[in-house]
């Protein structure tokens, strides 16, 4: 095989992994920040319609984990496993903050989480007018790590498809005997 033909599989691999989800583990505690302003809406399992933001992750150690969220507006959050369906918010529900917690600006929940399971935290307000920024921290067993799961942006996927098309086109040109010139 000519040296120039090695470029095609290497470029293809780079483009393929550029659109792959992020799978880098982070030590606990892990904090993420978000904002529900202008976010999509859903109706919670208790019938409240609110703006929401999701955060997907998995953990490497089975055990008790604390999820703590603070905000300048009334906040709520629920945890789901495997998938979250905003049109059916009771499906795959794992737990949510209890309504009896005194401060609605500072909430926490302790849940048993299983290693390797996908979890989704849904941060939201208690009404459509409860929007704003929040900060959520996840802590757990000593030495445990959390892996955020982020999907590729639509723009990244478009560029990846364009790149694959260019690679395949170049490969076809090379196969037809039209070697690229420098």
pLDDT tens readout for residues 38-91: 999 998 877 889 999 999 999 999 999 999 988 888 878 889 999 999 999 889
3-class state of residue 87 by DSSP: coil
pLDDT tens readout for residues 99-119: 545 456 778 889 999 999 999
Residue bearing tokens 């005997």: 177
Assessment of whether the complete model's pTM goes beyond 0.85: no
Which conformational region is residue 165 in: left (phi greater than 0), alpha (psi within -120 to 50 degrees), or beta? alpha
In this prediction, residue 157 carries a pLDDT of 47
Residue with the larger pLDDT of the pair 115 and 175: 115
**CA–CA gap between residue 72 and residue 132 (Å, rounded):** 7
Output the CA torsion sign for 99, 112, 28, 42.
Answer: negative
Residue with the larger pLDDT of the pair 179 and 32: 32
Neighbours of 21 (CB within 10 A): 11
């Amino acid at each position: 095989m000519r040296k120039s033909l090695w470029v095609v599989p290497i470029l293809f691999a780079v483009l393929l992994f550029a659109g792959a989800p992020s799978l880098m583990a982070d030590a606990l505690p892990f904090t993420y920040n978000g904002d529900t302003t202008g976010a999509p809406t859903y109706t919670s399992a208790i019938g409240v319609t609110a703006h929401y933001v999701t955060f997907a992750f998995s953990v490497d150690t089975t055990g008790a984990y604390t999820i703590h969220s603070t905000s300048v507006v009334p906040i709520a959050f629920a945890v789901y496993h495997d998938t979250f369906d905003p049109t059916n918010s009771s499906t795959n529900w794992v737990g949510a903050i209890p309504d009896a917690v005194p401060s609605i600006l500072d909430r926490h929940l302790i849940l048993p989480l299983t290693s390797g399971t996908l979890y989704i935290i849904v941060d939201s307000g208690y009404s459509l007018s409860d929007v704003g920024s929040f900060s959520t921290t996840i802590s757990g067993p000593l030495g445990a790590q959390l892996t955020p799961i982020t999907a590729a942006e639509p723009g990244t996927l478009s560029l990846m498809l364009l790149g694959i098309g260019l690679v395949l086109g170049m490969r076809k040109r090379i196969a037809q005997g039209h070697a690229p010139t420098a």
